[in-house]
Amino acid sequence: MALPPLLRLDGVRLTFGGTPLLSGVELNVLPGDHIALVGRNGSGKSTLLKIAAGTVEPDGGEVFRKPQATIRYLAQEPDFGESPSVESYVAAGLGPADDPYRVAFCIESLGLTPDARPADLSGGEARRAALARVLAPEPDIILLDEPTNHLDLPTIEWLEGEVASLRSAVVIISHDRRFLEKTTNATVWLDRGAVRRLDEGFGAFERWRDKVLEEEERDLRKLSAKIEREEHWLRYGVTARRTRNQRRLEALHTIRQERRDARRATGNVVMKAGETRESGKLVIEAEDVAKRYGERQLVSGFSTRILRGDRIGFVGPNGAGKTTLLRMLIGKTEPDAGRIRRGTNLDLAFLDQKRASLRDDASVADNLTDGRGDQVMVNGELRHVVGYLKDFLFSPEQIRTPVGMLSGGERARLLLAKTLATPANLLVLDEPTNDLDMETLDLLEELVANYPGTVLLVSHDRDFLDRTVTSTVAPAGDGRWIEYAGGYTDMLTQRRAEAKPKQEKPREAAPTAPPKASASAPASKLSFKQKFALENLPKEIARLEKAIATAEAEMADPALFAKNNKRFAELASAIDRDRSTLAKAEDEWLELEMMQSELQG
């Protein structure tokens, strides 16, 4: 017998400015559902989530929430109210039956300071605080609007595990394909004001969507063929029936036009990078570059050689120094030590993650042209701003709108339009994927993958990196950065491959075999304590992983908290402690491995 829904939207309608945004939308959220809510920018996803959360009232239709069901909603812009600290803000989201320990757990896991004032938080910290408030309780339904925006990769990966393990029903809006694939078991597609549901996770969505669109195209072709038959009959059929069938023909034409207009309703982004002269073969060469801010060594001894046509991705936690390293390479920040040489004929286009080049008080058109009229030069051709911005889904009415009134997705598209209009052979993109819908991401991926010049890219979107870059630069601790061939997944594979033989080497070596002089001399430079740690840390890491898994399995019992809340708290505390110890052990082992590798040449 099917379980009753926790939340049901039936025939929901909403109109903004005379244009229907939602028309007859239906959405059922059942216990255990982890739903990916997908659709184009501007299709109404966030509005639908607000209706579900009760913060927006629809014009019509029915909204049913199960009595006593609890809902937590992560908005794109968190409201901290009068909360004096992060801890009090997160704790305010708990219900009477929720575990207060979860407040400290979520704050620590998300790298927040409990006593920090919410008003002083950066954009990324504010996002993590809002996530902690939503995840600390255990409500019946959790609604997440772009939860991965402004998060670094370690935090995204932690969030994946947390969301995937939730017993609450979850509805997620996100542009991060990998995140949706790992956290969802159903997909709801909001398209042209209506919804379709697929009872499979996001991994199956794109194949299913393409099939649906192919069926629509087939229906349109059938309709066109029927109209052609009607036209032929009217021309050569019985004259007495001509008037009546002419009306029928006009009705069929109207239906066909309506279907075509519906397919074109959201439009398609047209994306092409500005072209310029070809750069020299050598684009950037760095030797032993270093940069320190205060006590923090962000970059130490970094060397690379970037050639024309390379597409380099930079990954790592927030604060690791990705943007600093990028800005040094392109000449916007000077290194403390080392040498950077840049090639000839370099023309740079730079997309800044902070969107500092956009002025909130200026109009969309003035931001694009810097206030110099109504035309913009694109690939050597003057284009009117209205025509060019239509390529990025801006309506003529929006051209004079102040940028401060645009949504996050609209600001992202405007910054792309401005950046891509710049003639360049070196494209530098710092977090370009934030707030973009998947269709626009697809086009940006294609543009980057086929760009004839050179691309330097900072991103936390693993799928985007895998599809675009030729090599990945990742931090290795203490300011060191290592370049790996391929995308993000390739980088992880290479790191594991490098680590695995070294773990097994002490067990494989024959104890009676005399060591070679060339290998033993460098290895002896490790102290006895370091060698002992290198051999025994893998065992300690395995023990900690097993202890965490055992404790988590015991905590998975839904009745444990009710039967023995003291044991539940002990397990949660042990897991938190073991995870912290595990992270330190892994860092220490990795550092020793790299030290041994360097000593062995």
- The answer to whether 320 is annotated as binding is yes
- The answer to whether 203 is annotated as binding is no
Which ranges in 152-297 belong to alpha helices (H)? 153-164, 177-183, 205-236, 242-263
Q: Which of 6, 4, 55 is nearest to 167 (CA)?
A: 6
- The answer to whether 46 is annotated as binding is yes
Q: At which residue do the structure tokens 């439009």 appear? A: 267
Note whether 435 and 149 are within 8 A (CB).
Answer: yes
The 10 Å CB-count burial string (b at 16+, else e) for 396-410 is eebbeeebeebebbb
d(CA 319, CA 458): 13
d(CA 176, CA 178): 6
Geometric angle at alpha carbon 188, from 168 and 146, rounded to 5°: 65
Tokens at 527, concatenated: 């102290």
DSSP-assigned letter for residue 402: B
- The answer to whether 319 is annotated as binding is yes
Q: Which of 579, 557, 580, 582 is nearest to 568 (CA)?
A: 557
Q: At which residue do the structure tokens 């600093």 appear? A: 324
**CA atoms within 13 Å, Cβ hemisphere of 421:** 23
d(CA 100, CA 79): 21
d(CA 195, CA 9): 11
DSSP-assigned letter for residue 32: T
Geometric angle at alpha carbon 51, from 398 and 157, rounded to 5°: 85
Note whether 474 and 322 are within 8 A (CB).
Answer: no
Note whether 406 and 414 are within 8 A (CB).
Answer: yes
Residue type, 351: L
Q: Which of 71, 74, 52, 55 is nearest to 63 (CA)?
A: 52
Per the rule left: phi > 0, alpha: psi between -120 and 50, beta: everything else, 285 is beta
- What's the distance, CA 507 to chain centroid? 41
DSSP string, 409-455: HHHHHHHHHHHHTS--SEEEEESTTTT--HHHHHHHHHHHHT-SSEE
- The answer to whether 317 is annotated as binding is yes
- The answer to whether 499 is annotated as binding is no
Note whether 128 and 155 are within 8 A (CB).
Answer: yes
| CA trace torsion 488, 129, 170, 140 (10° rounding) | 150
Note whether 191 and 39 are within 8 A (CB).
Answer: yes
Q: Are strands 71-74 and 141-145 parallel, antiparallel or unpaired?
A: parallel
256: exposed, middle or buried (C-beta count within 10 Å: 0-12, 13-18, 19+)? middle
d(CA 313, CA 147): 22
Tokens at 211, concatenated: 């099939």
Note whether 289 and 335 are within 8 A (CB).
Answer: yes
- What's the distance, CA 341 to chain centroid? 33
- The answer to whether 44 is annotated as binding is yes
- Annotated binding residues for ATP, as ranges? 39-46, 316-323
- Annotated binding residues, as ranges? 39-46, 316-323
